[in-house]
Amino acid sequence: GENVEQHPSTLSVQEGDSAVIKCTYSDSASNYFPWYKQELGKGPQLIIDIRSNVGEKKDQRIAVTLNKTAKHFSLHITETQPEDSAVYFCAARFENSGYALNFGKGTSLLVTP
Amino acid sequence: DGGITQSPKYLFRKEGQNVTLSCEQNLNHDAMYWYRQDPGQGLRLIYYSQIVNDFQKGDIAEGYSVSREKKESFPLTVTSAQKNPTAFYLCASSGQGYGYTFGSGTRLTVV
């Protein structure tokens, strides 16, 4: 079936550094790619998303880039802060699963002061 | 405030019991979803519903059942046929914009 691969599974950075999380997807027809942040014991929250007709999108310290030819997309967090520590999930919308989102396995980000 | 509510937050199930997890949304979203989350496994799709009175199986539907009698509600029943039900269950809904709004989850434990 269709899937989403996410790397790395864990990432530790110093406060103020940048963090990059990468995802690849298998369905070339996918057209929507969101990123979610999940804090311990809570539901995931949408932090940024991108559609297939756009190559890059920014929202303050967060950016997402999409390469449709290579079928990969990345989350970039600049000037990281301790409150950025959480689990981050990428996802892709697949046509053959009724447009439900397929999620990567998550990246546990730790930002140390 | 609009949102999506899951209850209970914690649920304990004895062997052989069926239990039902509640999910209610007041966002006027058409589509609703159930995901299961296990450590290191990400979110796996159990069932989804795009309109009232219609739903489809996801990747791991065995041992689960759902209903969608109202737009606002999408309850999930974990049946005794689900052999490893201990997990964190997440409900979500989406409207026209594709993005999901998630509930705060139900942690189910078999005792």
Pick from A101, A92, A108: nearest CA to A39: A108
Distance CA B7, CA A35 (A): 25
**According to the model, what pLDDT value does residue B97 have?**
65
A79, A57 Cβ separation under 8 angstroms? no
Structure tokens at A58: 């920014």
A106 part of contact set with chain B, CB < 8 Å: yes
Name the interface residues of B facing A (CB cutoff 8 Å): 6, 31, 33, 35, 40-45, 48, 50, 56, 58-59, 90, 92, 98-105
Residue B39 or residue B68, greater confidence: B68
**According to the model, what pLDDT value does residue A54 have?**
81
Grouping H, G, I as helix, E, B as strand and the rest as coil, residue A49 is strand
**According to the model, what pLDDT value does residue A31 have?**
87
pLDDT in tens, A61-80: 999 999 999 999 999 999 99
Backbone angles phi, psi at A82, to 5 degrees: -55, -35
Give percent of chain B with pLDDT exceeding 70.
97
**According to the model, what pLDDT value does residue B111 have?**
86
Return the sign of the alpha-carbon dihedral for residues B28, B33, B34, B37: negative
